[in-house]
Structure 1
Amino acid sequence: MSNPSTTRPGPGPGRRPAPDRGRTLLGPALRLIHTGRTPTRSALTTALEVTRATAGAVAGELAALGLVTVDEHPIGTGRGRPSHRLGLAPDGPVVLAAQVHFDMLSVALAGLGGELGEAVYLPLPAATDPEPILATIAAAGAALVRAQRRRCLGAALALPNPVREPDGTAPAALHFGWPGGTPVVQLFADAIAAQDLGPRGRVPLPTAVANDANLAALAEHRHGAGRDARHLLLVTSGHRGVGGALVVDGRLHTGSAGLALEVGHLTVDPLGRPCPCGNRGCLNVETDPEALFSAAGRAVDPSRPLLDQARELARDPSARAAVDTVVDRLALGLAGLANILNPDRIVLSGLHQDLLAAAPTRLPELVARHSLWGRCDQVPVVAAEVCHAGLVGAAEFAWEPYLRDPQAVAG
């Protein structure tokens, strides 16, 4: 857009006219309401650093787009003027969130505010090539879209492997043996396009794919234990392996090609277990559910989800020695990451969250002992708070274009 201070009359040099200024504030305002930081119009006025009239106009336009609600009657807080409460439209649009796990698939619809509908869980298809997996997800997602009354504006998928930017390929899908360079973004878009979404699905439906740990970190930063952290490091172990992600000033750090923060392949025991990446003793195989069962000398029940069993084992007093062994390895990895990244908060999810609960003193103390600045500047190590963080993060990814430009909802 051209510079308004030189092309049109206005209130003063460098000042945008009020209508333009209001439009540029729609995205920041929706993001604030979406993350629960501005529950009232007064709070929105303060956060945006604008006049009450401008904040009212911005909230009104978001309401007209069907995204937020503005209480007709102002509420008193005991201090200052009463203000109008802001909320998210209960009948507003949704997005489709999906996730590929090591041993199953999940899909759900999600509104703004981290609101996740009931998730549908599906077994992996007999053939775990990308096409049948993505077709199964697309069919289940389309059924959810057709069965509800809210408009669906986009879809995003969380994958348990890296996704290269900007071409959207999977350079390595170690769990399923997909060929390197699988065009997963295009395949997912094609799978969704082949479905009947009914009258409430945007056609074509915008789609996106990202790494599951990256998306979980996004969910925790916006709606969970990572709120307000400037440099948030998330480390997680799900059904198999270890993932990690870094959020810096509200944005995911994904590196030059989307492949940054593969923390699972940090070596914590050079003589340890072999890793699918070709190395030995990676965090990926020394602190995941299989590593805990190996340390405990216990057998896995193949009829039950591996992560559920590992979480139970982490709480079993008779497995304390095994828990300590895995905690010690995890602490070494976290300390190394803290030395390199200097986060102001570390969030642990999946099995690592249960290991923290089992060793709430031992784990943070070992991280501090092994990190360069730990004894004088200990990094808080906290448990994740968002349930189904991969799905919630996928929803965040699908919502992102509309958080940047809410008017795109009407397109």
Structure 2
Amino acid sequence: MQPTHTSPDRGRAALGPALSLVHTGAAPTRSVLTGALGVTRATAGAITGELQALRLITVDARPAGGTRGRPSHRLAVDPSGPVVLAAQIHADGFSIALATLGGVLDGPEDFPLPDPATPEHVLRAVVAEAARRIAADPRRCVGLGLAVPTPVALPERIAVAAMYLDWPSGTPVGELLEQESAAAGLHLPVDVANDANLAALAEHRHGAGRGAKHLLYVTSGHAGVGGALVVDGRLHTGSAGLALEVGQVTVDPDGRRCPCGNRGCLDVEADPPALLAAAGREPDPARPLLDQACEVLAEAAAGRTRARAAVEHVTDRLGLGIAAVINILNPDRVVLGAFHSSLLAAAPDRLTRVVAERSYWGRSGRVPIAAAELDRSELAGAAELAWTPVLADPLTALTSP
């Protein structure tokens, strides 16, 4: 079925915004979409018809009850339409998943890092598993997005300091990803970005950050601490993509040595290895660090004294770091990634109290602190990255050779 082009230029320009509204769940019906776009009902019908022809959305043939009793056609993501491949590299492995519009990950898979874990070997392994997964699925794949645990300088897409991957500073990760993808026969757009930035974007669109005007996201997965800021729906990346490196905020001048060369950075005072150290445990290199940290959290919940003290120690350090960032940014919501969400659950009153005591804005009016809602925010964010060209201009992205 060929797309039925909308005659007004305004209709063509509205395809991307309309798809974004359906993608984030902000337009469940055509009447809501019409009001959000500020177009006529006829134009809205043409826009949804075009997106339907591109197999991006479905439109119910029979209108459902709408506002003030007026029936309206329901809109949804087409489950048989295009997908993207989301990939994430972390300190002790990598993950991949196919993703539909709407922020849905389809069967995430986890793999160990290859040996040696050089940039070339790791990216080759990621692309190989991505190619296998894409080939096994009948749906059209229209992009590949990769989340990496390192600042990524833009527009060059260079890994500035991949400390937890032991990659050389200045690794051209974007260029290498394109080369490996081309070598594997994946002829589709690819992109790479910092994992915390992408997780923040996913949480803002589909999770605990929905509706926030200034969302601060703080996270730790396996090692290190990352952060990001979403302002009015857009990532604040700074002049070169390197903004919001909250992990380098000092929370204990006499604390643990950080790979950056300083002491007491949030990066090493509020991550899973920090919790293990506070609990007197040596990390087991054969097991995921996050799993080991969760064992300490379970012991704390069971009343084990040393584990409880370790949780409180790391929670205090996390609170100091969040308070320092709040003083600078004045967000209206803070969302915490997986490990920090567990700390919040283990010591909710302690974390909010530390933030309020050390933050000017916290004392003036408490900033809500919420746990991330998505199971795999970084991986979901990688999917958001891959969907970017389609959300910007669906017709060009899906019909250009």
Q: Structure 2 length as normaliser, TM-score?
A: 0.95
User: Which range is displaced more, 380-389 or 172-181?
Assistant: 172-181
Cα distance in structure 2, aligned partners of 1:30 and 1:196: 29
Deviation at 1:77, TM superposition (A): 4.2
Deviation at 1:298, TM superposition (A): 2.7
8 Å Cα contact 2:334/2:369 also seen in 1: yes
Q: What amino acid is aligned across from residue 310 of structure 1 in structure 2? A: A
| 2:376 aligned to which of 361, 383, 388 | 388
Deviation at 1:372, TM superposition (A): 1.0
Structure 1 stretches of 5 or more lacking a match?
1-16, 198-202
- Alignment-derived partner of residue 3 in structure 2: none
Q: Per the alignment, in what secondary structure is the counterpart of residue 105 of structure 1?
A: strand
Q: Per the alignment, in what secondary structure is the counterpart of residue 57 of structure 1?
A: helix
8 Å Cα contact 2:90/2:165 also seen in 1: no
Deviation at 1:315, TM superposition (A): 3.3
8 Å Cα contact 1:315/1:358 also seen in 2: no
1:42-95, Cα deviation, whole Å (9 max, x unpaired): 111121122222211111111011100000001124732111110111110011
Q: Per the alignment, in what secondary structure is the counterpart of residue 83 of structure 1?
A: coil
Cα distance in structure 1, aligned partners of 2:355 and 2:36: 36
Cα distance in structure 2, aligned partners of 1:18 and 1:365: 57
- Alignment-derived partner of residue 164 in structure 1: 153
1:346 correspondence with 2:346: no
1:212 correspondence with 2:173: no
Q: Structure 1 length as normaliser, TM-score?
A: 0.92
- Alignment-derived partner of residue 100 in structure 2: 111
1:344-395, Cα deviation, whole Å (9 max, x unpaired): 1000012111000011111112101110121222110100001111111001
1:151 correspondence with 2:140: yes
Deviation at 1:156, TM superposition (A): 1.1
- Alignment-derived partner of residue 400 in structure 1: 388
CA gap 1:355/1:209 in 2 versus in 1, 3 angstroms: same
| 1:137 aligned to which of 126, 129, 149 | 126
- Alignment-derived partner of residue 244 in structure 1: 227
1:376 correspondence with 2:338: no
Cα distance in structure 1, aligned partners of 2:297 and 2:220: 13
Q: What amino acid is aligned across from residue 175 of structure 1 in structure 2? A: Y
Q: Per the alignment, in what secondary structure is the counterpart of residue 117 of structure 1?
A: strand
8 Å Cα contact 1:220/1:386 also seen in 2: yes
Cα distance in structure 1, aligned partners of 2:125 and 2:318: 35
- Alignment-derived partner of residue 255 in structure 1: 238
Cα distance in structure 2, aligned partners of 1:78 and 1:374: 39
Q: Per the alignment, in what secondary structure is the counterpart of residue 79 of structure 1?
A: helix
**Aligned positions of 1:9-408 closer than 5 A:** 19-77=8-66, 79-197=68-186, 203=187, 205-316=188-299, 317-318=303-304, 319-407=307-395, 408=397
User: Which range is displaced more, 218-227 or 164-173?
Assistant: 164-173
Q: Per the alignment, in what secondary structure is the counterpart of residue 361 of structure 2?
A: coil
Cα distance in structure 2, aligned partners of 1:409 and 1:110: 16
Deviation at 1:302, TM superposition (A): 3.7
Q: What amino acid is aligned across from residue 364 of structure 1 in structure 2? A: T
8 Å Cα contact 2:278/2:313 also seen in 1: yes
1:146-205, Cα deviation, whole Å (9 max, x unpaired): 1111111111110000111011111211123222211110000011111134xxxxx3x1
The percentage of aligned residue pairs carrying the same residue is 62
Q: What amino acid is aligned across from residue 300 of structure 1 in structure 2? A: P
Q: What amino acid is aligned across from residue 353 of structure 1 in structure 2? A: S
Cα distance in structure 2, aligned partners of 1:73 and 1:286: 56
Cα distance in structure 1, aligned partners of 2:168 and 2:274: 27
8 Å Cα contact 2:332/2:367 also seen in 1: yes
Structure 2 stretches of 5 or more lacking a match?
1-5
8 Å Cα contact 1:315/1:354 also seen in 2: no
RMSD of aligned alpha carbons: 1.3
Cα distance in structure 2, aligned partners of 1:308 and 1:410: 44
Cα distance in structure 2, aligned partners of 1:305 and 1:128: 16
1:320-351, Cα deviation, whole Å (9 max, x unpaired): 11111111111110000000011110000121
